[in-house]
Amino acid sequence: MSARHAFVLLCAASLAGIGAARADPLPPDTTYRPLPTMPLSRARALDEAQKPQVMERQRALLERRYDLSDQPRQGMMMSGGTKPVQDGVRVKLPEGSSWDALAGMAPAEIREQGLLPQGFLPLPHVKQATGGQVFPELQIDAIAQQEQRDLRRFDVEADLPVHLTPEFPPPIFLTTQPQLGDVSRGELLTIRNYYEIMNGLITPVQMEGLRLLLTPFPQEEFNQTEDRKVAQPSLGVACLDCHSNFHSNAAFHLTPDVRPQANRFRLDTTSLRGMFNQQIHGSKRSLRSIEDFTEFEQRTAYFNGDHVSATRKGVNLPDRPNQVAMMAQMQNIIDFPPAPKLDPFGRLDPALASESELAGEQVFLGKGRCAECHRPETAFMDNQMHDLKLERFYKPGQVANDMVTLPDGPIKTFTLRGIKDSPPYLHDGRLLTLADTVEYFNLVLSTRLTQDEKDDLLAYLLTL
């Protein structure tokens, strides 16, 4: 620091009156959740009447941003073999533009001309003002049938067409029983059937962990108070209501990590496969262990970053040495789906892979620069968070369906193992296919891949 700078800083510090809080704080509900003011029965009637309009507005936004059609990729199924992988780039280009033209432009040019494809922007929740957990129909139906527990909200429903979400129920692979392959029997694990399905496969400790992961506790919109969005006072939500069979059913929520409400971004449920290899958890929170995540998730009512309102609804405080450890041990034996073409280093076996897949691996390791963060030797992660700085390409602060579009900041590198099983992509699910992710990273990383390179890279991602 120059002497002039130092002097100026000193003066500025004294001028700004540092230390004393002289102003009123911002209003309390910039941080805290307000209590309802409308009687529940009336709020519910209004919510129900308004729901078609809410869903229509979201559908219109999705249609503007994406091609939502059902276009399976020939001969490519998810790991359980019950659902095809979707093909093609689905993010819509601005009129008159092309992917190559965009990739050839400087970020500032794209920003100034407003040319960033809208589908690359953060994806709003179906109802930002309320937010909260939204479960897909398949999960709602399965839980209603097996447990007579109601996961249906009266104000909103899931917004993505079912062909763009993971297969349901997804297969389960155990690190402790690799020889068995998928042990799910094609069933969704619930509190009713878990014992029959898992007995003989897991330890007593893991079994107790599993029971807890399937036990519902009151959570944000699903509780017994008037501050809820489910018709009857609710038994609550279980961990595996979102992480179906330890994977994801594309249930979503708003991030706990940001306030005020309009700034909170959407979170697509992550898979719990391969947690054993992961050292930071949560897209932003960077919790350092599966135990921390499990304990905290339960304490703060799954994702609201709000222990205050969680406490009011009846919080479950799992005890760390016993319950938390057992829940963690169960999660830690969930494996990725098999990737038969990968060798022990996470590299393609040339005897098994196609030419295009091998060429794609070279792009991944080389020109595409993917492996600088998705490191093959550490399960295609680096246990780091990175700021991709998408806001170089757009002007922050625009409001879309009541969500303020803001820079993402640093986000955890997700694994790419088993990636074809977990659409939609990125932390908020803003990208619908792997082909979309290739275009996204090609633009964000300025790698200028050719069409052949993109095709090969995609073929490679599908082998992981």
Partner 1 sequence: MTRIAAFLLGAALTAAPALAQIGNPAGMAPDTRLDEPGKPAPHQTNTQDRLFAQLAAAGGLAEVQLGEMARDKAEAESVRDFAAMMVEDHGAANARLAELAEAVRIPLPQEPAPDQQALRERLEAAERTAFDLAYVRAQVVEHQKTAQLLAWEVGQGQDGEIQRFAAEQLPVVLGHLEQAQRLNAELSGAGGPAR
Q: CA 94, CA 290: separation in Å to the nearest integer? A: 42
203 binds partner 1 (CB under 8 A): no
372 binds, among partner 1, ligand HEC, none (CB under 5 to 8 A by kind): ligand HEC
Q: CA 53, CA 401: separation in Å to the nearest integer? A: 12
| Choice from 3, 19, 32, 39 touching partner 1 (CB under 8 A) | 39
Query: Rule CB under 8 A: which of 111-130 touch partner 1?
Result: 127-130
129 binds, among partner 1, ligand HEC, none (CB under 5 to 8 A by kind): partner 1
Q: Which two tokens stand for residue 175?
A: 């690190």
Residue 437: C-alpha distances to residues 265, 299, 445 (Å): 19, 34, 12
Determine which helix (DSSP H) or strand (DSSP E) holds 63, and give its type and residue range. helix 40-65
234 binds ligand HEC (CB under 6 A): no
Q: Which residues contact 106 (CB under 8 A, 6 or more apart)?
A: none
164 binds, among ligand HEC, partner 1, none (CB under 5 to 8 A by kind): none
Q: CA 449, CA 452: separation in Å to the nearest integer? A: 8
Count the residues of the shown chain that bind partner 1, applying the rule CB under 8 A: 59
Query: Rule CB under 6 A: which of 358-397 touch ligand HEC?
Result: 368-370, 372-374, 386
Task: Give min distance, CB of 137 to ligand HEC, in A.
Answer: 15
- Residue 103 or 201: the one with the smaller Cβ distance to ligand HEC is 103
Q: Which residues contact 41 (CB under 8 A, 6 or more apart)?
A: none
Q: What is the dihedral of CA 210, 215, 220, 226, to 10 degrees?
A: 180
Pair 326, 209: CB distance under 8 Å? yes
What DSSP string describes 195-260? HHHHTTTS-HHHHHHHHHHTS-B-BTTBSSSSS-SBSS----B-GGGTSGGGS----EEE-SS--S
- Residue 245 or 269: the one with the smaller Cβ distance to ligand HEC is 269
- Residue 162 or 400: the one with the smaller Cβ distance to partner 1 is 400
Within 13 Å, how many C-alpha atoms sit on residue 181's CB side?
7
281 binds ligand HEC (CB under 6 A): yes
298 binds, among ligand HEC, partner 1, none (CB under 5 to 8 A by kind): ligand HEC
CB atoms within 10 A of CB 14: 9
223 binds ligand HEC (CB under 6 A): no
55 binds, among ligand HEC, partner 1, none (CB under 5 to 8 A by kind): none
413 binds ligand HEC (CB under 6 A): yes
Bridge partners of 153?
A: 230
Cα torsion 413, 416, 420, 421: sign: negative
| Choice from 44, 65, 229, 253 touching ligand HEC (CB under 6 A) | 253
Q: Which two tokens stand for residue 82?
A: 């019950």
Residues engaged in binding partner 1 (CB under 8 A): 1-2, 4-5, 8-9, 11-12, 15-17, 22-24, 26-27, 29-30, 34, 36-40, 42-43, 45-50, 53-54, 57, 60, 127-130, 155, 226-227, 260-263, 387, 389, 391-392, 395-399, 402, 404, 407
Residues engaged in binding ligand HEC (CB under 6 A): 133, 213, 237, 239, 241-243, 251, 253, 267, 269-270, 272, 275, 278, 281-285, 290, 293-294, 297-298, 302, 327, 368-370, 372-374, 386, 408, 411, 413-414, 416, 419, 422, 425-427, 434, 437-438, 441, 445, 457
